[in-house]
């Protein structure tokens, strides 16, 4: 199984240049993925005035992921979002986030690293971007299929060089009460924090995304840069990142702090481990009618299950 690119499912003329994607499990295991992804055939960084300006998102009926699931329409991806810094109302985030200007921006990468570095937005957008069509499964029981643009987080980790003590990666979102009405309100402890084990962070499917459907991210989807970890529940895919810190101990995440009985550190998509308040066996397909079965590791088990060999997935929820 391989994550498809829209290159595979949309007419060629819609794209300036084609590029190849991860070819499959063999490539992943061989560690050949990085070289496959930094080759010469990259798509350009997405941007409004760039040649993709005439790009029309493919109709859902024309475009699918590698399982044959239709891409979620753009208006659903941008109109139905979770971003609690703005509001807990999924259909009102876009409006609340309209005035959010994520520029200038920088991401500070530090902690247990040999080469701490601050990445400007231009730095991040200057990294060769590739497209990944990934399923997104929210812990609330709904899902989308999203064509992201971004790059592997491993690329940045390689640049900053984690020290031997580094075992986890902690991520932090902007929490600006001036621009984000949800942060000014009560009920949660900000900032939004997420974390990955270092080997999860280095997995070639883990990306930092700067765009989707060939445009830069809109505020509601986590502009200007967010994490995407497709085999985990959506809340791991932290938005509007300002800080990445290599640490020795497992970070306590926003959701672990908010509801420790309901949200664990791992949060791997798993239809066999129900949430305390609901089943996780099926999911509602946003932008379409109906439900589908939820798949172990969100359908990426072949590529990621080995990260969890010998672990009790029920205890480590
Ligand atoms: N900073 C931050 N990141 C966040 C969230 C949030 O509220 N704040 N919500 C998470 C949840 S619950 C999900 S399902 C995904 C949704 O991503 P999308 O709205 O782009 O589909 O973002 C995640 N990242
Ligand atoms: Mo979510």
Delimit the domains of the chain by residue range: 6-308
C-alpha distances in Å from residue 296, one per residue of 93, 235, 281: 29, 17, 10
Distance 291 CA to ligand 1 centre (A): 21
Mean pLDDT of all residues in 48-60 = 40
Q: Is 192 in the pocket of ligand 1 (CB under 6 A)?
A: yes
- Would you say 284 and 141 are in contact if contact means Cβ atoms under 8 Å apart? yes
Q: Whole-model pTM? A: 0.85
- Predicted pLDDT of residue 236: 99
Residue range 212-263, pLDDT digits in tens = 999 999 999 999 999 999 999 999 999 999 999 999 999 999 999 999 999 9
Size of the chain in residues: 317
39 has pLDDT over 90 = no
Mean pLDDT of all residues in 43-63 = 43
CATH superfamily ID and name for 6-308: Oxidoreductase, molybdopterin-binding domain (3.90.420.10)
Q: In what order do the strands lie in the sheet with 241-247?
A: 117-120, 106-111, 241-247, 168-173, 193-197
Q: In which band, very low, low, confident or very high, does the pLDDT at 13 lie, cut at 50, 70 and 90?
A: very low
Q: Is 81 in the pocket of ligand 1 (CB under 6 A)?
A: yes
Structure tokens at 178: 């001036």
Q: Which residue has the higher pLDDT, 24 or 65?
A: 65
pLDDT cut 70: percent of the chain above it: 80
Distance 30 CA to ligand 1 centre (A): 32
Q: Is 267 in the pocket of ligand 1 (CB under 6 A)?
A: no
- Predicted pLDDT of residue 180: 97
| Cα–Cα distance measured from residue 111 to residue 107, given in angstroms and rounded to the nearest whole number | 13
14 has pLDDT over 70 = no
78 has pLDDT over 80 = yes
193 has pLDDT over 80 = yes
- Return contacts of 25-31, CB within 8 angstroms, 24+ apart: 25/1, 25/302, 25/303, 28/204, 28/303
Distance 226 CA to ligand 1 centre (A): 9
**Mean of the per-residue pLDDT values of the chain:** 86
Residues 6+ apart with CB under 8 A from 132: 3, 5, 21, 147, 148, 150, 205, 207, 228, 230
- Predicted pLDDT of residue 5: 55
Residues 6+ apart with CB under 8 A from 178: none
**Candidate of 137, 237, 286 to mutate for ligand 1, largest count of ligand atoms within 8 Å of Cβ:** 237
- Predicted pLDDT of residue 63: 82
Distance 235 CA to ligand 2 centre (A): 5
88 has pLDDT over 80 = yes
Q: Is 70 in the pocket of ligand 1 (CB under 6 A)?
A: no
pLDDT cut 90: percent of the chain above it: 79
Distance 82 CA to ligand 1 centre (A): 5
Residue 170, judged by CB atoms within 10 A of its CB (0-12, 13-18, 19+), counts as: buried
| Cα–Cα distance measured from residue 137 to residue 300, given in angstroms and rounded to the nearest whole number | 12
Q: Which atom of ligand 1 lies closest to the CA of 93?
A: 19
Residue range 261-270, pLDDT digits in tens = 999 999 999 9
171 has pLDDT over 70 = yes
């Amino acid at each position: 199984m391989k994550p498809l690119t829209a290159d595979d499912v949309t007419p060629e003329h819609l794209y300036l240049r084609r590029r190849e994607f991860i070819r499959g499990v063999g490539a992943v295991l061989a560690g050949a993925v990085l070289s496959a992804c930094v080759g010469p055939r990259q798509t350009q960084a997405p941007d409004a005035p760039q040649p993709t300006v005439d790009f029309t998102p493919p109709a859902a009926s024309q475009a699918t992921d590698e399982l044959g699931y239709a891409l979620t329409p753009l208006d659903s991806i941008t109109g139905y979002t979770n971003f609690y810094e703005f509001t807990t109302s999924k259909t009102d985030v876009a409006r609340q986030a309209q005035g959010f200007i994520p520029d200038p921006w920088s991401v500070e990468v530090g902690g247990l690293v040999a080469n701490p570095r601050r990445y400007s937005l231009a730095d991040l957008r200057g990294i060769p971007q590739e497209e990944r069509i990934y399923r997104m499964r929210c812990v609330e029981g709904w899902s989308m299929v999203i064509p992201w643009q971004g790059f592997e987080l491993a690329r940045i980790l390689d640049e900053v060089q984690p020290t031997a003590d580094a075992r986890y990666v902690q991520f932090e979102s902007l929490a600006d009460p001036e621009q984000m009405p949800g942060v000014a309100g009560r009920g949660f402890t900000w900032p939004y924090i997420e974390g990955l084990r270092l080997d999860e962070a280095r997995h070639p499917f883990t990306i930092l995304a700067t765009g989707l459907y060939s445009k830069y991210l809109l505020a509601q989807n986590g502009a200007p840069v967010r994490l995407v970890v497709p085999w985990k529940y959506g809340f791991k895919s932290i938005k509007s990142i300002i800080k990445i810190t290599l640490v020795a101990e497992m970070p306590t995440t926003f959701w672990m702090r908010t509801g420790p009985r309901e949200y664990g550190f791992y949060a791997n998509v798993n239809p066999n481990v129900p949430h305390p308040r609901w089943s996780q066996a099926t999911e509602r397909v946003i932008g379409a009618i109906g439900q589908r079965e939820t798949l172990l590791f969100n359908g990426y088990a072949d590529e990621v299950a080995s990260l969890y060999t010998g672990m009790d997935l029920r205890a480590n929820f």
